[in-house]
Amino acid sequence: MSKKYVYTFGAGKAEGNATMKLLLGGGLNETTIEGIIKKSGNERFAWDAYRRFVQMYGDVVLNMKPESKEEEDPFEVIIDQVKEKNGITLDTELVPADLKELVALFKAEIKKRTGYEFPTEPWEQLWGSISAVFGSWNNPRALTYRKLNKIPPDWGTAVNVQAMVFGNMGDDCATGVAFTRDPATGENKFYGEYLVNAQGEDVVAGTRTPQPVNETTKSDPSHKTLEEIMPEAYKELEGIYKKLEEHYRDMQDIEFTIQKGRLWMLQTRSGKRTAAAAVRIAVEMVKEELLKKEEAIMSIDPEQLDQLLHPTFDPKADKNIITTGLPASPGAATGRIVFHADDAEEWAERGENTILVRIETSPEDIGGMNVAEGILTALGGMTSHAAVVARGMGTCCVAGCGELQVSYKNRTMTVNSKVYKEGDWISLDGSKGEVIEGKVPTIDPELSGDFGELMSWADEVRKLNIRTNADTPHDSSVARNFGAEGIGLCRTEHMFFEGDRIKAVREMILADDEAGRRKALDKLLPYQREDFYGIFKAMHDLPVTVRTLDPPLHEFLPHEEQNQEEMAKELGITAAEVKAKVDSLHEINPMLGHRGCRLGISYPEITEMQVRAIMESACRLTKEGVTVYPEIMIPLIGTKAELANQREVVVRVAEQVQKEMNIKVNYMVGTMIEIPRAALTADEVAEEAEFFSFGTNDLTQMTFGFSRDDAGKFLKEYYEEGILTEDPFQTLDQTGVGQLVKIAIEKGRKVKPDLKIGICGEHGGDPKSVGFCHRVGMNYVSCSPYRVPIARLAAAQEALHGEK
């Protein structure tokens, strides 16, 4: 590079979207300025360029910034002083002499504040700038960007050094940005904006209105297109964008400058686009023979599909956002505030749309959560009860909304001292975490033809089966429509809360002996039988994995005094008896307490009732000519003996029921692998199991020693300190937890080479984790209904990735 060149440089990394952009002019000093004046014939332009350079270099390289948040930018202060002195108000009124003065004043101020003599030697400027770019990799903005986009810090950055061109040398100059296709819809049309006699920043700064590059982009008839005013440059640009798209075989986001009639390309990169655009572009590019089907599949970010699968607020609507929380479950919901789950149910019965607002939710709230349009909580993270259940239901949820103060007593929520009462309308944007005052109109998702086509291509190549986690016939049908090939996790505890059932459940818990428990369980049997009948029917011809009761019994009892009194009245006992039972079931660490198979071992009659319900409905459907594949799954086992104990109960009752009903059903018995010890001793466990299903939520909790309910507090600091780069509850920790998964698969298949293996933790819907599941040889992943398409695409991508 010659010393005489004026240059710009920027930083970026070709991989992924991890581009960090930082542009600096440079190579300017009193000597080169003279050259520019001669070349451009424009003294003001040259001195203004120099002024801008000194200002930006001082800021970015020499780090001259305001000393406090209150202080103004020192450069702007100097500019204002000069303008005042000369009695002018606009920057554009500054004449070359003013600008020259500003350069001198800036340099003096820099010297005064930072101690640096402003470098006039271009090489020194260049190295200073290069260092600044490298240094910018670790500035706070970059850290935040990386965190949001899950970019590892060790990727580092690159530095580009380019010769400088100017779009602001006169009216034969221009600069613009364009997309080779419409980034909102994906439509195949060239789409861009430009400004005459301007620099790139003027286009984006909004001080002048950019003009459309062509007719297709034009919205205002008074605008002049680039095509019209500089037809030759436009024609050249058209040729180049087509070449670029053909070369990169992707929609491009380009920047260009026209300097004195000559077109210069500054940058091209793959353009950001909406999910709908991404799908349309990929499918159309296959039809245009620009891409192969496999490449089209690889071109879509599975995570982005989420946008397409939930209703969204009309982007044109006005929104008064009163606060934001975590985007816990995507979707858009509008409804009237209620504060209690049973109110939500009551209001729903009379046809009201509600938003259930809670400090946090518990399994008791399940009925209300199920009927509410949306859920809003003050506490809890992305993996809180509210968030997990809402995602499972496909219900919109904003969680952990710190500014929200909820008073159950007054039935109010207060945000920044504004009080909202029960019955007030609010709206939630679960994809953005926004809480909005009043009603906002929504638009329904359209799973367009392009989407269906892309999915069918994905299904052709993927090896993993995709199942869903669903507990109701409705959820099962939704998931089946989304392409689910079975149920990987049907939780039975949710079924215990609905309607009158909870009464029988509580009777069972309060019973003094087995006889009392059996009496209560007999009442539950018909309900459970109907539950399974509906689910098996909805999933006909596909396997359904049913997990026996998992949560600790105290979750089914009320913890508030008033509710305990109500319950006592219902059951005809004293409130003290209820309280005594609640106390005796209290656990210090319920997550590691009396739950999962430990319940079934203590109370085999519970397992018996559940197996009977499963098998009776399976037998009935078989008689009705419906093919069913029940898979009975025992949770939380850590030893072979636990599984053997429960397997004996399952097989005994299953055989009994088939004999009674005189029909055979294909059923399997298997287990969750969610305790580290189960993974470590999977060879022993496999002797009693026909399938494994990794419960990676609990496995992650125990492998990390993190309680999902409590870890939110310190995990935030962990991300900030870079101790963790990803949330291990969202993306499977392949380094640690993944080892246990691998060990279990290896040991399990050593004993039973055909062991069916899947995953039913939240990770089953996370693209990265789906990739891992493919690589370690699982048969299927299971995720919430609304993530089934995402998992299908991720599985296809990993299959293609493996082929390479």
Q: Which of 173, 310, 385, 494 is catalytic?
A: 385
Closest approach of Cβ 669 to its own copies, in Å?
17
Closest approach of Cβ 228 to its own copies, in Å?
58
Closest approach of Cβ 701 to its own copies, in Å?
6
Helices assigned H by DSSP within 539-639: 561-571, 575-585, 597-602, 604-623
Nearest residue to 398 via CA among 362, 442, 360:
360
With respect to its own copies, which residue has the nearer C-beta, 127 or 408? 408
Closest approach of Cβ 2 to its own copies, in Å?
46
Contact residues toward its own copies (CB under 8 A) are 587-594, 598, 601-602, 636, 638-639, 641-642, 645, 674-677, 680-681, 684, 698, 701-707, 709-711, 713-714, 717-718, 721-724, 733, 735-737, 739-740
With respect to its own copies, which residue has the nearer C-beta, 56 or 724? 724
With respect to its own copies, which residue has the nearer C-beta, 422 or 709? 709
With respect to its own copies, which residue has the nearer C-beta, 217 or 377? 377
With respect to its own copies, which residue has the nearer C-beta, 248 or 718? 718
Phi-psi region of 333 (alpha: psi -120 to 50; beta: other; left: phi over 0): beta
- Paired sense of beta strands 354-358 and 332-338, if any: parallel
Closest approach of Cβ 710 to its own copies, in Å?
4
Closest approach of Cβ 502 to its own copies, in Å?
22
415: part of which helix (H) or strand (E)?
A: strand 412-415
Closest approach of Cβ 686 to its own copies, in Å?
14
Structure-block tokens of residue 797 = 């991508």
Residue in this structure with the two tokens 């499977």, named with its chain if needed: 732
CB 279 within 8 A of CB 448: yes
CB 363 within 8 A of CB 551: yes
Q: Which of 173, 760, 773, 783 is catalytic?
A: 760
Structure-block tokens of residue 407 = 């008073």
619 is catalytic: no
Closest approach of Cβ 140 to its own copies, in Å?
19
With respect to its own copies, which residue has the nearer C-beta, 320 or 602? 602
Residues 594/599/603/608 CA torsion (nearest 10 deg): 170
What lies within 8 Å, CB to CB, of 399 at 6+ separation is 325, 326, 328, 375, 376, 377, 379, 380, 381, 382, 384, 386, 387, 390
Amino acid sitting at position 561: E
Contacts for 744-747 with beta carbons within 8 Å, 24 or more apart? Answer: 744/673, 744/678, 744/679, 744/680, 744/682, 744/692, 744/694, 745/682, 745/692, 745/776, 745/777, 745/778, 746/682, 747/681, 747/682, 747/683, 747/686
Q: Tell me, rounded to whole angstroms, the distance of Cα 344 from its chain centroid.
A: 27
Closest approach of Cβ 139 to its own copies, in Å?
21
With respect to its own copies, which residue has the nearer C-beta, 294 or 733? 733
With respect to its own copies, which residue has the nearer C-beta, 490 or 636? 636
Report the half-sphere exposure of 772 (CA within 13 A, side-chain side): 23
Closest approach of Cβ 654 to its own copies, in Å?
21
385 is catalytic: yes
246: part of which helix (H) or strand (E)?
A: helix 231-248
With respect to its own copies, which residue has the nearer C-beta, 527 or 718? 718
E strands, 526-661, in order: 543-547, 629-634
Residues 404/407/412/416 CA torsion (nearest 10 deg): -30
Residues, the chain: 804
Return d(Cα 278, Cα 181) in angstroms, integer. 10
- Helix (H/G/I), strand (E/B), else coil: 574: coil
CB 563 within 8 A of CB 569: no
With respect to its own copies, which residue has the nearer C-beta, 204 or 723? 723
Residue in this structure with the two tokens 């709206």, named with its chain if needed: 427
756 burial level (CB within 10 Å; 0-12, 13-18, 19+): buried
User: How many helices and strands in the chain, by DSSP H and E?
Assistant: 30, 28
Return d(Cα 333, Cα 356) in angstroms, integer. 11
The catalytic residue positions are: 385, 760
